[in-house]
């Protein structure tokens, strides 16, 4: 086991992509330690991709990109502004609420940071917010995306663990909403003495009750087009109308219909979006295929059983086990991409979690939530670098501005780690 772990860290340290680290570790171990024939490699790579549910990944990715290409971000921002734009620190609050809505469309934190940041960070700067604070709000609220359904990391965990996709989507909804509410409260606290220098973004500033009501009706009407997609996806899966794979195809059809009807999607933009989705899907599939190869090597060497026995010999307390997992996830999230880390860790940690009586759906929330925090922390946090680039602030300056937001996120995370019912009540209610 130590040899396998050593090769994994060595290949990771020299900067190989995660997919090659997974496959390379397995191949080196097979040839130098286990003396296994290499003809097994293509068989296991194919077996890793020969699952019908994997077809949902490219469709969900494409649906999110299409909805973003259809220019629905502005509509979501206007709706969020209608809800919280008049609060103290209104534009910062709009940023958080927009991320909550946008996460229900893309399920990806990086897309959230890029799409919302390019609009709201300059707007916040114009109103007098510091650039590092504007970027910190955008980056921290972006991790709501991988929690609120449809979530790509939750989907990857469901595939790796054979847990119910519908239950995972529902379990992630409550943590996502609570994170958003916690960030709203933090903004209100941090901005208690803030006064905007200019009203640069207030679409609800209309005179008269009648004009105000007409503006509300118009904003709600145009925003519902975007907001109805996650309802269709999650409602269809939970209600048994269609499978996760079928729901992903429905999401693509809906995104195409909406974009074409609005005139914001063209043949050229659709082709460009499909190309981007194919590239991202290929990267995810390479990780899954190579992770299956490494998982097979782990299985024949009985490493998951060894890890489970190690945890059980270390402590019989589920609380202590969860504390160890929390620390491990927060550290691993600093260095590894979320989907790759999920696929690596599930075969190793899930058997141990089940030995402690932890629900696989709850463990999915623990795993995904802990890893996505790494998206906003150095040294390789993708959202951190995107926010730094948009706001034109150094990474170390943005990292300092993120400290209070990280403290709130970790506090919310620990609550959901140690109170399973907080995330499981909704899937149990609708099961």
pLDDT beyond 60 at 329: yes
Q: pLDDT > 70: what percent of the chain?
A: 93
What are residue 377's phi and psi, to 5 degrees?
A: -120, 150
The residue with greater pLDDT, 414 or 86, is 414
Average pLDDT of the segment spanning 131-159:
90
- The number of folded domains in the chain is 1
Residues above pLDDT 90, as percent of the chain: 24
Q: pLDDT at residue 197 above 80? A: no
Mean confidence (pLDDT) of the chain: 84
Average pLDDT, integer, range 69-96: 79
Mean pLDDT of 407-412: 96
Using pLDDT thresholds of 50, 70 and 90, give the confidence band for residue 199. Answer: low
Q: What is the pLDDT of residue 203?
A: 45
pTM above 0.75, yes or no: yes
What pLDDT score was predicted for residue 200? Answer: 53
Contacts 24+ apart (CB under 8 A), 31-39: 32/3, 33/3, 33/4, 34/297, 34/300, 34/301
pLDDT digits (tens, 9 = 90+) for 212-271: 677 667 777 767 777 777 778 877 887 778 887 888 888 889 888 888 888 888 888 899
Domain that holds residue 327: 2-430
**C-beta neighbour count of 283 within 10 angstroms:** 16
Mean pLDDT over residues 379-404, rounded?
Answer: 87
Interior/surface letters 206-234, b for 16+ CB within 10 angstroms, e for the rest: eeeeeeeeebeeebeebbebbbebbeebb
- Between the CA of residue 33 and those of 4, 236, 298, 373, what are the distances in Å? 9, 48, 13, 36
Distance CA(194)–CA(181), nearest Å, equals 20
Mean pLDDT in residue range 19-26: 85
């Amino acid at each position: 086991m130590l040899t396998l772990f050593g090769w994994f860290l060595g290949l990771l340290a020299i900067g190989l992509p995660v997919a090659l680290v997974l496959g390379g570790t397995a191949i080196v171990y097979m040839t130098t330690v286990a003396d296994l024939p290499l003809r097994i490699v293509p068989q296991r790579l194919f077996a890793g991709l020969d699952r019908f549910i994997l077809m949902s990944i490219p469709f969900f990715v494409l649906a999110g990109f299409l909805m973003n290409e259809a220019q629905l971000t502005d509509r979501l921002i206007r709706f969020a502004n209608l809800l919280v734009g008049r609060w103290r620190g209104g534009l910062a609050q709009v940023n958080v609420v927009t991320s909550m809505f946008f996460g229900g469309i893309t399920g990806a934190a990086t897309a959230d940071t890029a799409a919302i940041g390019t609009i709201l960070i300059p707007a916040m700067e114009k109103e007098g917010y510091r650039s590092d604070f504007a970027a910190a709000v955008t980056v921290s609220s972006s991790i709501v995306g991988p929690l609120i359904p449809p979530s790509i990391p939750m989907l990857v965990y469901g595939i790796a663990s054979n847990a119910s996709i519908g239950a995972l989507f529902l379990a992630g909804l409550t943590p996502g909403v609570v994170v958003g509410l916690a960030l709203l409260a933090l903004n209100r606290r941090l901005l208690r003495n803030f006064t905007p220098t200019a009203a640069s973004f207030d679409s609800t500033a209309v005179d008269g009750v009648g004009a105000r009501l007409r503006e509300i009706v118009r904003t709600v009407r145009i925003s519902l087009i975007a907001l109805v997609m996650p309802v269709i996806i999650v409602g269809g899966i939970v209600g048994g109308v269609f499978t996760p794979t079928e729901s992903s195809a429905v999401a693509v059809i809906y995104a195409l219909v909406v974009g074409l009807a609005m005139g914001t999607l063209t043949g050229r933009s659709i082709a460009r979006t499909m190309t981007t989705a194919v590239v991202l899907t290929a990267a995810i599939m390479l990780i899954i295929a190579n992770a299956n190869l490494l998982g097979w090597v782990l299985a024949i060497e009985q490493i998951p059983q060894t890890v489970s026995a190690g945890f059980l010999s270390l402590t019989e307390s589920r609380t202590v086990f969860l504390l160890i997992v929390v620390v491990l996830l927060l550290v691993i999230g600093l260095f590894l991409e979320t989907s790759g880390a999920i696929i690596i860790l599930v075969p190793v940690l899930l058997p141990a979690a089940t030995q402690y009586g932890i629900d696989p759906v709850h463990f999915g929330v623990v795993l995904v939530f802990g890893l996505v925090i790494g998206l906003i922390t150095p040294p390789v946090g993708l959202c951190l670098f995107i926010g730094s680039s948009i706001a034109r602030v150094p990474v170390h300056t943005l990292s300092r501005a993120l400290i209070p937001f990280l403290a709130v996120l970790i506090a919310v995370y620990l609550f959901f780690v140690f109170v399973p019912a907080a995330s499981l009540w909704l899937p149990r209610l609708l099961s």
